[in-house]
Amino acid sequence: MRLIFAGTPEFAAQALRAIVAAGHQVPLVLTQPDRAAGRGMKLRPSPVKIVAQAIGSEVFQPASLKGETAQERIRQATAEAMVVAAYGLILPQAVLDVPTLGCINIHASLLPRWRGAAPIQRAILAGDAETGISIMQMDAGLDSGPILRSEAVTITDDDTAASLHDRLAALGARLVVETLARLPLDGQLQSADGVSYAKKIDKAEAILDWRQPAAQLARQVRAFDPFPGAICSIGGHVLKVWRARAVAGGVAGVPGVVLAADREGINVACSEGVLCILEVQKAGGRRLSVADFLAGAALAPGTECACLADC
């Protein structure tokens, strides 16, 4: 098929690679404008742009798709369908109507649960047992179109947003290729029941609030790895917490007080249970096991963790 592809991060880049490998033509690729990143704040292309340039596709990086100039560029590609994955711009109806077979979206949840920007993190935060990929025929709503194909994956107790992202990206790439081979398809309308929205992650959400149950804080740590990283203050050290687990039947204590600190972990009392911190990072440093961190930072039981949240 002759396709337009629209996407920005690695999740989308993996799908683009699979589509090209399956033999489809992709004359036009839409992606977000280059962004400043890194210590030097140099402009960096998106993962999708890097793939598009490697395969020889024309790259188009508009700030919006509402204008006639952008829409005409899309029309000139004369595509049978457009595949969209984590693109970052809203497609107006005029764009949705351009391809003969419409626009198809790869979404990282089992719709209608977790429509919106951060479905992977929200599924982990909510303690969902499973999530998946939905291949959807796009309409003017927010992730509300008919489902063409879906497949579930289990969320394990040690899944982070990074590990779950990688599994879903691979699944999305496979499912979109299988879906394209079967177009046109009749989609299944989404149920009005079970609709939930995955709002964009706010950095303020990453602060560990010891007044929450330990199980919730452990999910928070996993959901915010690799971005923005769960954060807390212990013994005067502001730390990012990269690995932690809720201790079953942990000894109760005053929320935010260190109960034990040794090479096995830093145990902090929560409103319910105990959070055992296993891997941390100081500002400007690298990730450290708790054993390595404590080798250079003494931490006694009874130490109070400063409340960074709005207490």
pLDDT tens string 116-128 = 999 999 999 999 9
State how far the alpha carbon of 205 is from the alpha carbons of 210, 229, 230, in Å: 13, 10, 8
Contact 146, 185 (CB under 8 A): no
Exposed e or buried b per residue across 7-38, where buried means at least 16 C-beta atoms within 10 angstroms of its C-beta: bbbbbbbbbbebbbeeebebebbbbbeeeeee
The per-residue pLDDT for 42 is: 87
307: pLDDT strictly greater than 90: no
pTM of the predicted model, to two decimals?
Answer: 0.94
Residues of the chain above pLDDT 70, percent: 97
Q: What pLDDT, on a 0 to 100 scale, did the predictor assign at position 308?
A: 67
124-138, 177-191, 250-264: range with lowest mean pLDDT: 250-264
For residue 217, the surrounding DSSP H or E stretch is helix 214-223
Q: How far apart are CA 304 and CA 259, in angstroms?
A: 10
pLDDT of 309 above 70: no
Rounded average pLDDT over 254-274: 93
**Sequence-ordered alpha helix ranges (H) in 137-213:** 161-180
| Separation CA 8–CA 42 (nearest Å) | 18
* Mean pLDDT, residues 128-154: 97
What pLDDT is stored for residue 311 in this prediction? 45
Give the mean pLDDT of 132-148.
97
Domains of the chain by start residue, with CATH: 2-198 (3.40.50.170), 203-306 (3.10.25.10)
Q: pLDDT digit string (tens) for 190-225? A: 999 999 999 999 999 999 999 999 999 999 999 999
In angstroms, the CA 209 to CA 228 distance is 16
- 258-262 and 265-269: which strand pairing? antiparallel
pLDDT at 251: 63
CA-closest candidate to residue 235, choices 284, 264, 286, 277: 277
State mean pLDDT over 271-288: 94
Percent of the chain with pLDDT over 90: 90
Distance from C-alpha of 198 to C-alpha of 114, rounded to nearest angstrom: 5
Identify the pLDDT of residue 250: 60
Q: What is the mean pLDDT of residues 9-35?
A: 97
Binned at pLDDT 50, 70 and 90, residue 16 comes out as very high
- Contact in structure between 271 and 210 (CB atoms under 8 Å): yes
Measure the N-to-C terminal CA separation of the chain; round to a whole number of Å.
Answer: 56
Residues 61/32, Cβ–Cβ less than 8 Å: yes
